[in-house]
Structure 1
Amino acid sequence: MYFKRYPLIEKFRTGEDGDIPMMRLARLLVSGAFLGLIGNMTGIDGLTDVTGMASRLDAGHFILSHTDRQPEGSVGRREVAFVLYLTQGWRDDGGAHTCRWSEGASAAVCIPPRINTMLIFRVPRAHAVLYVPPFVTASRLALAGWAYSRT
């Protein structure tokens, strides 16, 4: 995986970076209202926690295929992944599309990073982020994370 990340939710919880504008988004992501929305959209009851990060993909960056499977020793059960795209005017040929596929599928579904678009999907599920070509001068910015249940 080649991209830059900032542990937004962790920094919010510790208060380490004060009141930078991104902390307002972090406050929303850890709220019961957000967990309720995600639960309603996915049909999963009992979501109790969120972890997440701010991510930045620049020219040459990509994220290899992975499933967002739960890390060993983590508390709760990782149920849902989400990505909120924050870059305005991203070019269709700029890469950084999130591609996902089902087991046995012959083709992936690739979603371009449109500003204020949020991808939400149950995990584990295979997905990747396409390579950002060298001619791209913008950064693909996003908030990405996971919602957990207690069990």
Structure 2
Amino acid sequence: MTLKLSPDLDLETHARTFRERGRAHIIGLMPDDSAAALHGWLSSDIPWQTNFNDGEKGHTLHQLQVEALNETQRQLLLTHISQKAAFDFQYVFNAYSLSDARKQGLNPELAVNQVLDFVNSEEFLALGRTVTGRDDISFADAQCTLFRPGHFLSDHSDDVYGKSRVAAYVINMTPQWRPDWGGILQFIDQDGNISEGFTPAFNALNILRVPQPHAVSYVTPYAQGGRYSITGWFRTGEEQ
């Protein structure tokens, strides 16, 4: 299966929305067969890692490390993360970096690896240039993400020095989700209010200008299934 874009996307309308609001929500990104294939890869063959931070330092626990934690250690880790989140930027969620895996030659047999080629294809980069109005976009990085109960990503702007990020993108791959389960992509205005929120969807693309305050709300304990997506940034310059 080769991933491709739907042929009838109205990118000019989304470009106008992006100019006005700094973000766009594009439904029906891919044909049904491409979307079904991508969801199948995400829900079956990913060696998920648990990502969290302690201040500015990020940490990654591989699957075997997570399984080696006893219940007391798990609770201590979650308590530490929750306490930090009360006052500082904090995140915890499952991820698998396709960009890093490609550079390190890891798991070349995984079908999901071709997502990195898809987001760097001329048609996807052209979509990014059209919607953002930035002709200097030259590449995109990518990671698979999975938010489960207890996961969240607190208020941040994605503006990291030296990364040359033009806009963030999220390819949503969640077939069924209720807004009250959490996991909402929230946009935060200058008064600290939630100005808009995108509920996890299936086969929909979100693009948001960098920098822009946003967060992914806490996924509730009663949420069913997982919040699957491909996330990354449209960037300028040469791939690092």
TM-score by length of 1: 0.89
Distance 2:133 2:190 in 1: 22
In the alignment, is residue 131 of structure 1 matched against residue 218 of structure 2?
Answer: yes
Regions of 4+ moved over 6 Å: none
Match of 2:116 among 26, 37, 41: 26
1:127 partner amino acid: H
Distance 2:105 2:130 in 1: 30
Distance 1:134 1:148 in 2: 35
Report the Cα offset of residue 25 of structure 1: 1.8
Match of 1:115 among 202, 207, 212: 202
Preserved contact between residue 186 and residue 194 of structure 2 (Cα < 8 Å)? no
Distance 2:139 2:104 in 1: 15
In structure 1, the gaps of 5 or more residues are none
2:214 partner amino acid: H
**2:138 is matched with which residue?**
48
Between the two structures, name the one with larger relative contact order (CA 8 Å, sep ≥ 6). 1
CA deviation string 1:95-138 (max 9, x = no partner) = 10100133346432111010111110110110000111101131
1:67 partner amino acid: S
1:144 partner amino acid: T
SS of 2:108's equivalent? coil
Identity across matched positions, percent? 27
TM-score by length of 2: 0.57
CA deviation string 1:18-64 (max 9, x = no partner) = 13121122210122221111000111111012122111100011100
Distance 1:137 1:105 in 2: 29
1:62 partner amino acid: F
Aligned residues: 148
**1:69 is matched with which residue?**
159
Distance 1:89 1:107 in 2: 23
Distance 2:162 2:208 in 1: 22
Preserved contact between residue 132 and residue 209 of structure 2 (Cα < 8 Å)? yes
2:186 partner amino acid: C
**1:59 is matched with which residue?**
149
Distance 2:189 2:132 in 1: 17
Aligned-residue Cα RMSD (Å) equals: 1.8
Match of 2:175 among 88, 91, 96: 88
**1:35 is matched with which residue?**
125
Change (3 A) 1:35 1:13: farther
Report the Cα offset of residue 9 of structure 1: 2.2
